[in-house]
Amino acid sequence: MSLFTQTYIPDCYFVCMINSRLISFYVDNFINNTSHFQINDARQLPIIIPTSEQLEKSKFLYNKAVKLKQSVFNNIVKESDIEYELSEIEIKLNEFVETLYYLV
């Protein structure tokens, strides 16, 4: 599956949005209640255009999570060793996305 945008917003922002609890709830309840997220589902998402500050926060969370997962893939640490850190990132990501949508 590929998604190409016609905006200046980097892919990491969209990855953060799609992986948030709020967008997942929205997709499950209003777009597609199956277990398969499809490209047409992504096209229907109400994505908030971020400020530069919001974009930086999403990049920070994204890069932190990717770095942790890469350390597992490179056999530097075990998945169980980073579970707590990933759950903290997940909490912060969910709070970030909820703040974006609740402020609108």
Residue 69 inside a domain? The answer is yes
Number of compact structural domains in the chain: 1
pLDDT of residue 43 exceeding 90: no
- pLDDT band for position 16 (cuts 50, 70, 90): very high
Q: For the stretch 66-79, what's the b/e string if a residue is b when 16 or more beta carbons lie within 10 angstroms of its beta carbon?
A: eebeeeeeeeeeee
DSSP 76: S
Residue 6 inside a domain? The answer is no
Residue 97 inside a domain? The answer is yes
Q: What pLDDT was estimated at residue 40?
A: 67
Domain holding 16, by residue range, is 11-102
Residue 5 inside a domain? The answer is no
CA distance 90 to 58: 12
Between 97 and 43, residue with greater pLDDT: 97
- pLDDT band for position 3 (cuts 50, 70, 90): low
Per-residue pLDDT tens for 45-104? 888 899 999 999 999 999 999 999 999 999 899 999 999 999 999 999 999 999 999 865
Q: What pLDDT was estimated at residue 27?
A: 84
Between 18 and 62, residue with greater pLDDT: 62
Between 41 and 3, residue with greater pLDDT: 41
